[in-house]
Amino acid sequence: MQFFIYFTMTEGAPMAPPSPEGMAKMGKFMEESFNSGRIVATGRLPREVTNVQLDQGKFSVSDGPFIEGKELIPGFTVISVDSKQEAVEWVKELRECMGDGILKMAQLSATSKEDLKG
Amino acid sequence: MEPIKTEIGKIYKSESGRVLASLIRILGDLDLAEEALQDAFYKALEKWPKEGIPKNPYSWLVSAGKFKAIDSIRRLGRGKELFPEKLSLEKEDLDGDFIDPQDWENILIEDDQLRLIFYCCHPLIPLDSRIALSLKEVCGMSTDEIAQAYLVSFETIKKRISRAKALIKEKKIPYEIPSKAEVTRRTDAVLHVIYLIYNEGYSASSGEVHIRRELTEEAIFLSRKLVELSSSPESLGLLALLLLQESRRESRVTKNGDLIPLENQDRSLWDKKLIREGVQLIQHAVMSGRLGPYTLQAAIASVHTLADSVQNTQWNLIIGYYDMLLTINTSPVVELNRAIAVGMHEGPEAGLAIIQRLLKNKELDSYHIIYSAQAELLKRLGRKKEAIKAYKQALELVHQEPEERYLKKQLSKILN
């Protein structure tokens, strides 16, 4: 099962820089998690997205905001684990590297290539 | 100068890099493309004052350059040798009616610039030649300007460039963006050169102007393209670093081009949007694992951009990042910067002790910044005579006019 883990920030509010110790710990933790195959992907969601719209056979492509409102998602990670408990443990460890604050996790119900084989 | 000529001069500065990058793709030869670029601008100087500046100067210049080159290839009878098949790569080859031709052209131009830097930074070319060639071809700097920037002779730079060009021909280095697997292997060299280009623009090592906008813009553009190509932690880190430096640009010099030290900068001029993007990129880089020097330097810059004054800056964090940087690679310049931070956090004496040790090791004794940092700390300790001596040493070594003016001002302040 896969979990989408992310944190939010409010637009305009400054984000505190991570402590050097936390940063070092986090770098190491993430690298290990990459190597063990637990991390599927990690990244940040941009503020702007491109809308591809089909309207009666005619395409239009335009830029627009990703989410309306002031919440931003500066960082996310998708992990692949065997249980929700395992995911919580992983997230705890990541949050410790980052310091005080919230990390949110949502289970992804996604269909993958493997599922189609069954 | 007539206004139109000034305008053409501006277009030369902004367009010549893109025009050259496209001409290399079309003509398949670096020297030929350089000649074509010059010819195209001669033609522009002749035509534009009479006919006006075309709507799309880039396209005009590329086709003018292309025709001039084909002309001279024919004249010299070198058709077989130089006429590349690529000459046919035009918009009509690009299928799909979904994308607007103008968009296609933009994509092609942007790719050309990325192609050009990978070309100039090919691993078969030695590092010093890579840098010289990139500054010349990507940034349009003259051999003379590059020589001044690196404090070496004109002849040395000329040699480095011709060696690079010879290797490109000899090894038949292709003009292309490498495949995904290759990109990772070759990104480090490109990152390094982009970093140097930005630094040269952000703090020109010689001459009258401190900031050269064309170079900083080019570096940021290339850095963005590289992140699109591969989000490796260090590509993200470099882009973060450049954006955070760039965010402070407006506040660093006065209208007359005088330098403003960090403590006197108007922080309300710092670009919040760039800061936000930079900080997010750092997060992304850290979350990708593996911390590298660009990410750490970006983290240092982020601490400054998030503080409301020099006094309220979290110097302890900055020192911590410098310590991590030193574990990756020991560099006297990094140690010097760390000493300055220590001077802010623990007091001038602690900073000074590190600087004295560095000077004793003679690693930085021809670098003006070490003396100006020393002078600053001595001044804060009230050791006036020694501070004057250090300012004078810095002045002897400085090559850049705004920095020289700044140091002179500090010296005259202390003398009065």
More confident residue, B266 or B229: B266
* Residue B121, helix vs strand vs coil: coil
The confidence score (pLDDT) of residue B17 equals 83
Under 8 Å between Cβ of B233 and B281: no
- Determine the pLDDT at residue B217: 87
**Is 80 exceeded by the pLDDT of residue B246?**
yes
Helix (H) / strand (E) element for B185: namely helix B180-202
Other C-beta atoms lying within 10 Å of the C-beta of residue B277? 19
- Calculate how close chain A gets to B123, using CA atoms only, in Å: 27
Q: What is the average per-residue pLDDT within B38-44?
A: 91
Greater pLDDT, A87 or B331: A87
Mean pLDDT of B57-79: 80
Averaged pLDDT, A63-89:
83
Contact B303 A19 (CB under 8 A): no
Of all residues in chain B, the one with the smallest CA distance to A13 is B276
Long-range contacts of B309-315 (CB under 8 A, 24+ apart): B309/B263, B309/B267, B310/B262, B310/B263, B310/B344, B313/B344, B314/A17, B315/B341, B315/B344, B315/B345
Q: Does B153 touch chain A (CB under 8 A)?
A: no
Compare CB distances from A44 to B272, B284, B314 and report the shortest one's residue. Answer: B284
Cβ–Cβ contact A92 with B under 8 A? no
Q: How far apart are CA B319 and CA B355, in angstroms?
A: 15
Interface of B with A in 91-110 (CB under 8 A): 98
Q: Report pLDDT for B97.
A: 39
- Shortest Cα distance, chain B CAs vs residue A27, angstroms: 4
Mean pLDDT of the region A47-71: 81
User: B110-114, B220-224, B382-386: lowest mean pLDDT where?
Assistant: B110-114
**Where do we find the tokens 């918009």?**
B91
CATH 3.40.190.10 fits A2-12+19-117, yes or no: no
**CB-closest option in B98, B272, B289 to A30:** B289
Quick check: A10 contacting B, CB < 8 Å? no
CA distance A117 to chain B (A): 28
Q: From chain B, pick out residues whose CB is under 8 angstroms from the CB of A44.
A: 280-281, 283-284
Cα–Cα–Cα angle for B405, B407, B412, rounded to 5 degrees: 95
| Cβ–Cβ contact A28 with B under 8 A | yes
Return the pLDDT at A45: 77
For residues A22 and B320, the answer to whether their CB atoms sit within 8 Å is no
Q: What are the chain A neighbours of B291 within 8 Å (beta carbons)? A: 23-24, 27
Give the pLDDT score at B204.
65
Residue B98: predicted pLDDT: 43
The better pLDDT of the pair B78, B322 is held by: B322
Choose from A10-24, A90-104, B86-100, B336-350 the range with maximum mean pLDDT: B336-350
> What is the pLDDT, as a whole number, of residue B362?
86
Q: Is some CB atom of chain B closer than 8 A to the CB atom of A31? A: yes
Query: Which residue from B minimizes the CA distance to A33?
Result: B289
- Mean pLDDT highest for which of A35-49, A65-79, B102-116? A35-49
Q: What percent of chain B has pLDDT over 70?
A: 89
Q: Inspect the interface and report whether the beta carbons of A21 and B302 lie closer than 8 Å.
A: no
Is the minimum CB–CB distance between A69 and chain B shorter than 8 Å? Answer: no
Provide the pLDDT for residue B335.
94
**DSSP conformation class of B282:** H
Mean pLDDT of chain A: 84
**Contacts made by residues B10-17, CB under 8 angstroms, sequence distance 24+:** B11/B44, B11/B53, B11/B57, B12/B41, B13/B140, B13/B214, B14/B214, B15/B57, B15/B58, B15/B61, B16/B41, B16/B140, B17/B113, B17/B138, B17/B139, B17/B140, B17/B218
pLDDT of residue A74 exceeding 90, the answer is no
What mean pLDDT comes out for the span B147-175? 88
DSSP, residue by residue, chain A: -EEEEEEEEETTSPPPPPPHHHHHHHHHHHHHHHHTT-EEEEE---SEEEEEEEETTEEEEEEEESSSSSEEEEEEEEEE-S-HHHHHHHHHHHHHHH-SS--EEEEE----HHHHH-
Instruction: Please determine, for residue A116, whether its predicted confidence score (pLDDT) is greater than 90.
Output: no
Pairing, β A104-108 against β A71-80: unpaired
Is B361 strand, coil or helix?
coil
pLDDT of res. B102? 56
Q: Which residue of B has its CA nearest to A39?
A: B288
How far apart CA B244 and CA B223 sit, in angstroms, is: 13
* Residue B377: how many other CB atoms lie within 10 Å: 27
pLDDT at A93: 92
pLDDT score of B283 more than 70:
yes
Cβ–Cβ of B317/A17 closer than 8 Å? yes
What is the rounded distance in angstroms from the CA atom of residue A103 to the CA atom of residue A95? 7
Within B124-208, strands assigned E span none
Query: Does position A105 have pLDDT exceeding 80, yes or no?
Result: yes
- Nearest residue in A to B282, CA atom: A17
Query: What predicted TM-score, i.e. pTM, was given to this entire model?
Result: 0.79
Chain B neighbors of A77, CB-CB under 8 A: 287
Residue in B86, B94, B115 with CA at minimum distance from that of residue B20: B115
Show the tokens assigned to B50: 């009479």
Q: Which of B327, B328, B228 is nearest to B281 (CA)?
A: B228
- B226 touching A (Cβ < 8 Å): no
User: What is the distance between the alpha carbons of residues B377 and B387, in angstroms, rounded to a whole number?
Assistant: 8
Q: Which of residues 274-293 of B touch A (CB under 8 A)?
A: 276, 279-284, 286-291
Q: Mention every residue, 6+ apart, whose C-beta is less than 8 A from residue B378.
A: B348, B352, B384, B386, B387, B390
Identity of the residue numbered B416:
N
* Helix B332-345 and helix B348-360, axial crossing angle in degrees, nearest 10: 160
Which of A85-99, B98-112, B277-291, B338-352 tops mean pLDDT?
A: B338-352
Domain ranges in chain A are 2-12+19-117
Chain B residues with CB inside 8 Å of A29's CB?
289
Contact present, B165 and B30 (Cβ < 8 Å):
yes
Q: Among B74-88, B263-277, B285-299, B314-328, whose mean pLDDT is lowest?
A: B74-88
The reply to whether residue A16 touches residue B306, judged by beta carbons under 8 angstroms, is yes
- Model confidence pLDDT, tens digit, residues B358-371: 999 888 888 899 99
Q: For chains A and B, what is the number of CB pairs under 8 angstroms?
A: 75
pLDDT at A118 (0 to 100): 59
What's chain B's average pLDDT? 85
Amino acid at B183: V
Question: φ and ψ at A100, to 5 degrees?
Answer: -60, 145
Which residues in chain A are contacts of B324 at CB distance < 8 A? 20, 23-24
The Cα B362–Cα B351 span in angstroms is 17
Whether the CB of B230 is below 8 Å from some CB of chain A: the reply is: no
Mean pLDDT of B148-176: 88
* Model pLDDT, residue B389: 95
Pairwise CB contact (< 8 Å): A20 & B321 = yes
- pLDDT above 90: percentage of residues in chain A: 34
- A104-108 vs A2-10, strand pairing mode: antiparallel
Contact status of B6 with chain A (Cβ, < 8 Å)? no
Quote the pLDDT of residue B113.
81
Q: Do B290 and A24 touch (CB under 8 A)?
A: no
The answer to whether the CB of B232 falls within 8 A of the CB of B120 is no
Contacts of B317 in chain A (CB under 8 A): 17, 19-20
